[in-house]
Structure 1
Amino acid sequence: MIFGKLLPKDGNFFELFNEHGQQIVEGARAFVSMIQYYNTPDLREKYVAEVDDAERNADKITTEVHRLLHRTFITPIDREQIHSLINSMDDILDLLQDSSEVMALYDVQHITEDVQRLGEISLKCCERVQHAITLLPKLNQPEVTEAALKTCEEIDKLESDADRVMRSAMSKLFREETDTRELIKLKAIYEHLESISDCCEDVANLIEGIVLENS
């Protein structure tokens, strides 16, 4: 399939991708705010609720994409690419929600600098995912193709940054944390947060494949 073919009358896959990308960023921003105000219960719950709202909104968009796929004969890119992309995007918000739930369920007593750093990297990854998604409808323009590939590279670098932060955090945790229960809690949280950037990298890899196949 190539870009430029007529899109279905009752919807636009690229618009749905963009809407989903906006929910990813909104969820990530709420998640970082939740970390920032973790010790203020009212604000923490407010931002947890915003993460949940973003996840539910994104689920509705994912369902709409699947519905549209069943109704559409001609799609702007390969059907399997559409299916894989929207599902991988949805995984990002699922992990953001899971991470916020884990922090609440485990009753973490303090937020470390490494949790904050991993949250900030996750947000940057999500913002780059959203940017890459906005470029998909214009891949017939060489400069847009180049920008999309560059954005995917930036996501890869951010994922590597998250790996380094997590390795350092784990090393520090096992050397310095004397409370076994807190150690177990923080280890799980570090792993959840690092997985967010992994999911963003999965989306970047899919976008890179779409770019190379359709540009």
Structure 2
Amino acid sequence: MIFGKLLPREGNFFELFNQHGAKIVEGSRAFMAMVENYSDAGLRERHAAEVDKAERQADRTTAEVNRLLHKTFITPIDREQIHSLINAMDDVLDLLQDASETMSLYDIREMTDEVIQLAALSVRCCERVAHAVSLLPRLNKDETAEAAIKACEEIDQLESDADRVMRAAMSKLFREQADVRELIKLKAIYEQLESISDRCEDVANLIEGIVLENS
């Protein structure tokens, strides 16, 4: 594999990817804590604020990556790949924040088992995203490239798991929920949570492309 020989010694982009990945994990865990403690208004608000904070910090990292793209003559990977990857990562946190805000705006009173399951799958997806991103600087090693591909495959599997949970949740919702307002609220939440794993899969697809195109 010759990928490592093609990379100039420019580490800023990889460091920024790692910073953003850490915020994705931080935001997803805060979201999970919010869901698990939803009945406690104080804890709910605290963890929602943590999601917001992680999203704002990640936005600054995204802006820094885009600023560096304009200043850096030689980039470690293709410019379009850098741009697409950081924006796909940013979409993950945007959705976590959106889901948190939607729960508040819709005045959701209690979490269903399906929301908890989808939130847990989102955390696992986000953790694998951060892991896959952390491997990018070391793709000159065959075992590291293979580990990155494996992490992407795990994200794909988690996305499939989230699809199944969402379909089952929707089926149960339309069979058992008699209150139309609650049905509409929960349907929107389920769809948002499933979309988080979709965006993680988008990141995985971009990382797979980086590995395969440069090996």
Query: 1:159 maps to which residue?
Result: 159
Q: Deviations over 1:14-67 (max 9, x none)?
A: 000000000000000000000000010000000000000000000000000000
Q: In 2, distance between residues paired with 1:3 and 1:16? A: 19
Q: In 1, distance between residues paired with 2:15 and 2:4? A: 14
| 8 Å Cα contact 1:92-1:200 kept in structure 2 | yes
| 8 Å Cα contact 2:31-2:47 kept in structure 1 | yes
- Aligned-partner SS, 1:30: helix
| 8 Å Cα contact 2:31-2:119 kept in structure 1 | yes
Structure 1 residue ranges without an equivalent (≥5): none
- Aligned-partner SS, 2:77: coil
Alignment of 1:1-215 (within 5 A): 3-4=4-5, 5-8=7-10, 12-215=12-215
Q: In 2, distance between residues paired with 1:13 and 1:2? A: 16
Q: In 1, distance between residues paired with 2:109 and 2:92? A: 25
Read off the aligned partner of 1:192 and give its amino acid letter. Q
TM-score (normalizing by structure 2): 0.97
- Aligned-partner SS, 2:135: helix
Q: CA deviation at 1:208?
A: 0.2
Q: CA deviation at 1:179?
A: 0.8
- Assess, with a 3 A threshold, how the Cα gap between structure 1 residues 77 and 3 changes in structure 2: closer, same or farther: farther
Task: Please tell me the root mean square deviation across aligned C-alpha atoms, in Å.
Answer: 1.2
| 8 Å Cα contact 1:108-1:185 kept in structure 2 | yes
Q: CA deviation at 1:7?
A: 3.9
Q: Deviations over 1:68-100 (max 9, x none)?
A: 000000000000000000000000000000000
Q: CA deviation at 1:214?
A: 1.7
| 8 Å Cα contact 2:69-2:79 kept in structure 1 | yes
Q: CA deviation at 1:2?
A: 5.0
- Aligned-partner SS, 2:109: coil
Number of equivalences: 213
| 8 Å Cα contact 2:3-2:139 kept in structure 1 | no
- Aligned-partner SS, 2:196: helix
- Aligned-partner SS, 2:161: helix
Structure 2 residue ranges without an equivalent (≥5): none
Read off the aligned partner of 2:40 and give its amino acid letter. T
- Aligned-partner SS, 1:209: helix
Q: In 1, distance between residues paired with 2:126 and 2:140? A: 24
Read off the aligned partner of 2:8 and give its amino acid letter. L
Q: CA deviation at 1:3?
A: 3.9
TM-score (normalizing by structure 1): 0.97
| 8 Å Cα contact 2:3-2:140 kept in structure 1 | no
